[in-house]
Structure 1
């Protein structure tokens, strides 16, 4: 039996290019696949253990624009008399559903996507092999669980700021010689200071988890930028978000953050005291819960973000869109590549986590694709400017950011904070810098490739020394403030 395996990145791109030019029109489609249970078109052993069932994600060619019912009828499903269910996922600011997902009751098919049309299905390997030849399907892969890019067991609840400072901006306003108004925050976590200084931090007896560091940022940093946090949800009632965080999508019918991971990442991007860009609009895309992260949820969630981005970029107050994704898996997944490619083609910027296996980042999704599409893959460093022992490395890591003992918002209550370790914590720091640069550089709002070049060009050079045979980025993210606070 032929074994389903992931296509290499190069082959993915070749297929995408060739499909765009050679895919047949709807009138030329032929019936090439039978529905599960109708008899396999591929011979296999009668032993069911030799032909197991799996969940698969199928992605349609861009040329396939027919209604779902027509597509499934051609594949051998009878959708006549079947129940078609539409699920509203997420609520827009107007109070109307922001995204709809359709499911059929035939063999558990669930369809989703407006920018990248896809469906999930439970079937045998032999049936999947036959399905690969269907000309309307550009990608077919087994659905695989993703992981949070946080070090397990690293979460430590921290005492919150004094009540008088919670949700209150008590920062020192200053002006540069060019009259640009900027701010210095004196009760910041160490990772924020490292983003706004030129040299390694002298802790002077302070612990990495102490909120006694100085952060310098421009007063309007990230103002108006839309950031989509593809994660476990967000504790939108946390005082640190000041009403700027909203949930817009959930794959699970619930929007609360039952993990804490998404709230922590969102805080590093945008929280009043713990965030890089303290003025952005945060949009929660819930693709995982306490049971884990679904690959199809990531496709559907980013697809929903693309839909909203395409609406927003025609509006006069649009400042740019950034995807923050501290999730991944090995090996690289076609579905991650294809949906992120759609996002950057639409003009969305993306920061992703390099993952935490202390090995070659090119073996992990979605960071491996940083060599093919302009997403920024982020490794983790500690307070001594050393690559974190857990962080992946190599040529697929574009840049490093602080990722050890990072204090940020948490899901335990409206003022709760916690310290976590991981490339999960490094990724949102870069997300925040991208949002900051979108305000500074309006010409880059819809140009992810140019923004990536700009971000890497502003980074501190030669800071993270290579400590392995796989050389890669020696860059540390920086917001460009001269000297040290």
Structure 2
């Protein structure tokens, strides 16, 4: 079935800057003044007053049409084009997501749940917008980074069993008569998530696929996971047709980095995934040149819209956002869009980032203390904090993040090993997805789910001298004991 893809492209629109209107003055107080157009600007030299790109987020009570706002700013959309993007799910033919976008004199708009725009202007002009009641946030746009360790990538030979379509899984039964499965050709990170004690490697390498993973038979069945990343290699055999691209900010949907495919594999791949039955939706917010801050807002906004439509439909099992990108210092736009997501009932897992310092200085993980998102640090196979992982009170939990083998973008069976909190974050995403099926009452309650996930974690595993006044929790799916060998 053909899936329609939403492309958030740069729009080419003919625009005209308006003159002062000769129409009767409205009795409504004007809230917008275009920087430099309708107010006195203090003279600055170019060097002292540089241009920057800014992202502006509207307040919830600014509900007027964009055209009216632009007119008040001193720009007119009359005679210009506007474009409406539609997303159809699985070729249904019925658009489930619509977004009207403008590009007016360099001002680009996006978002339905959190209306925002980007604009290039001088610092003095940005200062002139401070206090505008129509704005809840105005900040310089900042590129984000992938939360994996550069130089750690190792492309590995594909697992032969994938090509043969064979699963080295055995069906077993827990004491409570819940069906569960043990996988015998798993990467080490999956075993660590399903056992109580530190792994005895017994001569195995961390990249060997010779570990044992126990997981619930439901394996996140039907849960929607939105991977906010570089895209996904949806043709990879490990996804079994469960991965689809939903949104791209760039006019292309291929994963040209490999990062998004790797993270999606840790969440949902047949052999490398925690929750092997979830639906994966790709939200492409970055490419080989980096990650756009405004793309994150637009992409998560699209996910919120689809989630709000899905949660009233039959078969809805819950929604999780997995976000293995970030930057320093914390960005208000990240906070605003993730706050909207959790208010809508979406669960969020984020990477703590890789600077071996206080995670409270990084976005979006710093906001784990303010909104119920789960900020994930990385641990090695010896249960110590990975030397690159951020730490401190803003890290909620740790998960395996060193020598993690998962799917890659090079071909339909490709795999690679990567290091980073990028690799730890999707492990927790998968655990959340599995718990959403097992605990229906938590489906729209991110705060309760966060408490539940932290409650299931292994206590005191990551030693205090390695986490520096932070969490000592290791993510765990709750199976007692260790896998049978």
TM-score (norm 2): 0.91
From 353, 356, 363, the equivalent of 1:358 is 356
The 2-side partners of 1:27 and 1:368 are apart by 43
Secondary structure, aligned partner of 1:446? coil
The 2-side partners of 1:344 and 1:350 are apart by 7
From 378, 383, 386, the equivalent of 1:385 is 383
Distance change >3 Å, CA 67–CA 335, structure 1 → 2: same
Deviations 1:271-322 (A, max 9, x none): 0000000000000000001111000000000000000000110012000000
Aligned match of 1:200: 198
Cα shift at 1:102: 3.9
Aligned match of 1:421: 419
Aligned match of 1:30: 30
Aligned match of 2:41: 42
Aligned match of 1:171: 169
Pairing 1:207-218 to 2, within 5 Å after superposition: 207-218=205-216
Secondary structure, aligned partner of 1:64? coil
Aligned match of 1:151: 149
The 2-side partners of 1:214 and 1:106 are apart by 56
From 297, 300, 305, the equivalent of 1:302 is 300
TM-score (norm 1): 0.91
Deviations 1:115-156 (A, max 9, x none): 001111111111111122321111111110000000001110
The 1-side partners of 2:376 and 2:178 are apart by 29
The 2-side partners of 1:166 and 1:429 are apart by 26
Aligned match of 1:342: 340
Aligned match of 2:474: 476
Cα shift at 1:234: 0.3
Deviations 1:414-464 (A, max 9, x none): 000000000000000000000011111100000000000000001000000
Aligned match of 2:5: none
Backbone CA RMSD of aligned residues: 1.7
Aligned match of 1:220: 218
Secondary structure, aligned partner of 1:227? strand
The 2-side partners of 1:370 and 1:27 are apart by 44
Secondary structure, aligned partner of 1:467? helix
Cα shift at 1:41: 3.0
Aligned match of 2:187: 189
Deviations 1:34-76 (A, max 9, x none): 345x37633132x212111111111111111110001111122
Cα shift at 1:220: 0.7
Distance change >3 Å, CA 236–CA 478, structure 1 → 2: same
The 1-side partners of 2:192 and 2:27 are apart by 59
Deviations 1:222-279 (A, max 9, x none): 0010000000000000000000001110011111100000000000000000000000
The 2-side partners of 1:188 and 1:108 are apart by 50
| 1:290 matches 2:288 | yes
Aligned match of 2:63: 65
Aligned match of 2:136: 138
The 2-side partners of 1:338 and 1:53 are apart by 24
Cα shift at 1:104: 3.4
Cα shift at 1:86: 3.5
Contact 1:149 1:423 in 2 (8 A): yes
Aligned match of 1:271: 269
Contact 1:32 1:133 in 2 (8 A): no
Contact 1:166 1:415 in 2 (8 A): no
Cα shift at 1:165: 5.5
Instruction: Using the TM superposition, name which of 96-105 and 66-75 deviates more.
Output: 96-105
Cα shift at 1:185: 0.2
Structure 1 unaligned residues grouped into runs of 5+? 1-25
Deviations 1:307-362 (A, max 9, x none): 00001100120000000000000000000000000000000000000000000000
The 2-side partners of 1:59 and 1:475 are apart by 36
From 92, 99, 102, the equivalent of 2:89 is 92
Instruction: Using the TM superposition, name which of 168-177 and 366-375 deviates more.
Output: 168-177
Distance change >3 Å, CA 191–CA 100, structure 1 → 2: same
Aligned match of 1:280: 278
The 2-side partners of 1:362 and 1:479 are apart by 26
Distance change >3 Å, CA 294–CA 101, structure 1 → 2: farther
Aligned match of 1:4: none
Secondary structure, aligned partner of 2:104? coil
Distance change >3 Å, CA 345–CA 467, structure 1 → 2: same
Secondary structure, aligned partner of 1:174? strand
Cα shift at 1:105: 4.2
Secondary structure, aligned partner of 2:215? strand
Secondary structure, aligned partner of 1:256? coil
Cα shift at 1:177: 2.1
Contact 2:354 2:420 in 1 (8 A): yes
Distance change >3 Å, CA 197–CA 126, structure 1 → 2: same
In the alignment of these two chains, the number of paired residues is: 457
